[in-house]
A and B are shown apart, each in its own frame.
Chain A
Amino acid sequence: QKEVEQNSGPLSVPEGAIASLNCTYSDRGSQSFFWYRQYSGKSPELIMSIYSNGDKEDGRFTAQLNKASQYVSLLIRDSQPSDSATYLCAVKLDRETSYDKVIFGPGTSLSVIP
């Protein structure tokens, strides 16, 4: 089982719809979770961090975390063509390591259709 899994997509949604991006992780003790957006040819940009079960909202973005199910999601409301990008889920591993090990998922490609 991979440590962080995401559907590769592409996920296509019409403009104005809600885009739902999902991520599962294997390290049951993980406490810190991140969503990054990566436009084609660019570097990843942090858009959300979440640490507690439940929802965290920031503008049109909502991150949802369910530690019992080892599941984290990102909802994008009122999707815009400018949201078209690859979204990377990242998880800080709980097990003891020599550094703050963050594992990135492979990313989900989102396409918002005008």
Chain B
Amino acid sequence: DGGITQSPKYLFRKEGQNVTLSCEQNLNHDAMYWYRQDPGQGLRLIYYSQIVNDFQKGDIAEGYSVSREKKESFPLTVTSAQKNPTAFYLCASTKGLGQGTYEQYFGPGTRLTVT
């Protein structure tokens, strides 16, 4: 079955440590996205990538970094520079720019707690 996987499901880190969240998809989608969701709030875009080896900042990129070395993979690193990293992180994908469809499909999410 095609889909998006994220790991780990839960992650606990000490303040000051960098942490990397994994996102893998086998939908053959070109575009991938990282969102952050805080309790009672909507989704906020962190980074997006339309194609391999290219990615752009979203609305709240400060303190985060990404890479897109393979079409299937879009890992997110939460750095120590991120002031409030505790949140629910969601990875999503779409077919891609110019494909005519915009439905986003989400992975199961990673819940990060930093103390």
The number of chain A residues with a CB under 8 A from chain B is 21
Contact B106 A99 (CB under 8 A): no
Chain B stretch 101-115: residues in CB contact (< 8 A) with chain A: 102-109, 111
State in angstroms the CA–CA spacing of A1 and B31 once bound together: 28
Residue of A nearest to B90 (CB): A43
A46 engages B105 (CB within 8 Å): yes
Q: B107: which A residues are within 8 A, CB to CB?
A: 43
Write the chain A residue with the least CB distance to B109. Answer: A43
Q: Are A104 and B42 in contact (CB under 8 A)?
A: yes
Query: Does A32 reach chain B (CB closer than 8 Å)?
Result: yes
Q: Does A60 contact B (CB under 8 A)?
A: no
Residues in A neighbouring B104, C-beta threshold 8 A: 34, 46, 90, 102
A42: B residues at CB distance < 8 A: 108-109
The smallest beta-carbon distance between A81 and chain B, in angstroms, is 22
B106 cross-chain contacts in A, Cβ below 8 A: 43-45
Chain B residues 13 to 46 lying within 8 A of chain A, measured CB to CB, are 31, 40-43
List, in ascending order, chain A residues with CB within 8 A of B56's CB.
Answer: 98-99
Measured CA separation A44–B43 after assembly (Å): 10
- Docked Cα-Cα span, A82 to B95, in Å, equals 30
Q: Which residues of B contact A106 (CB under 8 A)?
A: 40-42
Once bound together, how far apart are the Cα atoms of A90 and B43, in whole Å?
10
Given contacts A42-B109, A43-B90, contact A99 B50 (CB under 8 A): yes
Closest chain-B Cβ to A58's Cβ sits at a distance in Å of: 14
> 1/0 per residue B2-21: CB within 8 Å of A?
00000000000000000000
Interface set of A (CB-CB < 8 Å, partner B):
8, 32, 34, 41-46, 49, 88, 90, 92, 98-100, 102, 104-107
